[in-house]
């Protein structure tokens, strides 16, 4: 907890001294329809700057999930991504992407640590191009004030995700993320953290704020 307080104290001064910081505001939802099926919904509003007034990317994603008995999940879905250049004079997006994806999520535990493995395959229709991409994310969750993450639990979330192309220039990007989260109820949680994104053009840091809301829609 002392480390978290130190970060909160030093972070504003550090941000003011940096030019390569952005901001992501995110919503995630998993809505159960039946015991085995659910709908994934997602909105990400990404900004070039820390202040959320210079949009970099708007990402809308949805999908259909199938839940296995061992709590693994497979998903098939679609995403729309609008990209905006910093300082562009045009009002609309400068480029757009349509994306189909297939995904697998599995979990395992070591003591109090929960590990989430996510493998995603993407087919991407960009403005004048088509690409495949593979992504693997390993995320760890550590509850702070309770043995497991349940109602009224403070937790730490950390992940690393690598993006690869099967064609030339195999490495696409890497994301490293660390955050504090709070599980408000069984279906509502918040996270606030920092993400570092490394690409072939360098790296950039983003403040991230997210809400996960998962109401059960089954009858």
Mean pLDDT, residues 160-174: 94
Percent of the chain at pLDDT exceeding 90: 81
Give how many domains the chain has, as a whole number: 1
Q: Please report whether residue 147 resides in a domain.
A: yes
| CATH number, domain with residue 135 | 2.40.160
Confidence at 27, pLDDT banded by 50, 70, 90: very high
10 by DSSP, 3-state: which?
helix
Q: Please report whether residue 102 resides in a domain.
A: yes
Q: How many CA atoms lie within 13 A of 143 on its CB side?
A: 17
- In the predicted structure, residue 13 carries a pLDDT above the cut 80: no
Q: Please report whether residue 201 resides in a domain.
A: yes
- In the predicted structure, residue 89 carries a pLDDT above the cut 80: no
Mean pLDDT, residues 160-175: 94
Domain that holds residue 138: 2-84+93-213
Q: Please report whether residue 32 resides in a domain.
A: yes
Q: Please report whether residue 28 resides in a domain.
A: yes
Give how far Cα 9 sits from Cα of 4, 12, 96, Å: 9, 7, 39
- In the predicted structure, residue 7 carries a pLDDT above the cut 70: no
Give how far Cα 176 sits from Cα of 43, 162, 195, 200, 208, Å: 20, 9, 6, 15, 12
pTM for the full model? 0.89
Confidence at 2, pLDDT banded by 50, 70, 90: low
Mean pLDDT, residues 8-34: 76
Q: Please report whether residue 9 resides in a domain.
A: yes
Quick: pLDDT tens for 42-83. 999 999 999 999 999 999 999 999 999 988 999 999 999 999
Q: Please report whether residue 219 resides in a domain.
A: no
- In the predicted structure, residue 16 carries a pLDDT above the cut 50: no
Using alpha carbons, select from 7, 46, 39, 43 the residue that is nearest to residue 27. 43
Q: Please report whether residue 192 resides in a domain.
A: yes
């Amino acid at each position: 907890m002392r480390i978290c307080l130190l970060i909160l104290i030093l972070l504003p001064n550090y941000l003011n001294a940096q030019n390569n910081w952005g901001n992501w505001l995110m919503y995630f939802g998993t809505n159960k329809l039946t015991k085995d099926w659910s709908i994934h919904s997602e909105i990400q509003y990404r900004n070039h700057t820390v202040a959320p007034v210079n949009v970099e990317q708007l990402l809308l994603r949805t999908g259909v999930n199938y839940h296995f008995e061992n709590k693994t999940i497979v998903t098939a879905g679609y995403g729309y991504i609008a990209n905006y250049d910093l300082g562009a004079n045009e009002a609309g997006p400068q480029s757009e992407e349509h994306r189909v994806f297939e995904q697998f999520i599995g979990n395992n535990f070591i003591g109090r640590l929960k590990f989430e493995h996510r493998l995603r395959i993407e087919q991407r229709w960009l403005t004048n191009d088509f690409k495949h991409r593979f992504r693997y994310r390993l995320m760890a969750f550590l509850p702070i004030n309770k043995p497991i993450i349940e109602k009224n639990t403070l937790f730490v979330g950390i992940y690393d995700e690598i993006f690869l192309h099967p064609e030339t220039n195999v490495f696409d990007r890497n994301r490293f993320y660390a955050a504090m989260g709070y599980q408000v109820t069984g279906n509502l949680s918040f996270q606030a953290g920092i993400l570092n994104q490394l690409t072939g053009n360098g790296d950039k840091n983003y403040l991230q704020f997210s809400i996960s809301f998962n109401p059960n829609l089954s009858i």
